[in-house]
Amino acid sequence: MEDCLFCKIIAGEIPSKKMYEDEEMYIFCDIDPKAPKHYLMVPKAHFARLEEMTDEQAAVLGKCLKKLPSLTGLLGLENGYRLIINQGPDAGQTVFHLHVHILAGKKMAWNPA
Ligand code: AMP
Ligand code: ZN
């Protein structure tokens, strides 16, 4: 996908702090962390929003989520973590390649306001 920041990061055209990669996903450190540990889990196949997600992409996203518990040691998530998908303007989505934020490293307040 042309002009997609995360496609460029996955392709290695823009540098990132990679934490994990397999055939279907790429996990790297958020450049502007909102918690002591803040990663982005990005399915490699580009799509912007859940509304556009195909059955195949849904299966891939499910596999990414299923894989995450096996990566807790690597990512330092043993004490728990929060997953967030920002969708659209009210949520503040800024990058239109679907991604899951992984936040960890402190006890987090529940209210996102
Ligand atoms: P969202 O606002 O949910 O679309 O999330 C986009 C995230 O991408 C934000 O948390 C940004 O801090 C992060 N981000 C933007 N540019 C980069 C980059 N070059 N490397 C790593 N993270 C980035
Ligand atoms: Zn993309």
38 in active site = no
Task: Give the three-state DSSP class for 1.
Answer: coil
User: Looking at residue 40, what is its pLDDT?
Assistant: 98
Q: Provide residues with CB under 6 Å of ligand 1.
A: 5, 14, 16, 30-32, 40, 86, 92-95
| Whole-number pLDDT of residue 112 | 74
pLDDT (tens place) for every residue of the chain, 113 residues total: 679 999 999 999 999 999 999 999 999 999 999 999 999 999 999 999 999 999 999 999 999 999 999 999 999 999 999 999 999 999 999 999 999 999 999 999 998 77
The single residue listed with the structure tokens 């995360």 is 6
Three-state secondary-structure class, residue 26: strand
Mutate to test the pocket of ligand 1, among 14, 30, 50, 85 (most ligand atoms within 8 A of CB): 30
The reported pLDDT for the residue numbered 109 is: 92
> Which of 9, 32, 84, when mutated, tests ligand 1's pocket best, judged by the most ligand atoms within 8 Å of its CB?
32
pLDDT value of position 108: 94
Domains of the chain and CATH, by start: 5-36+43-79+87-96 (3.30.428.10)
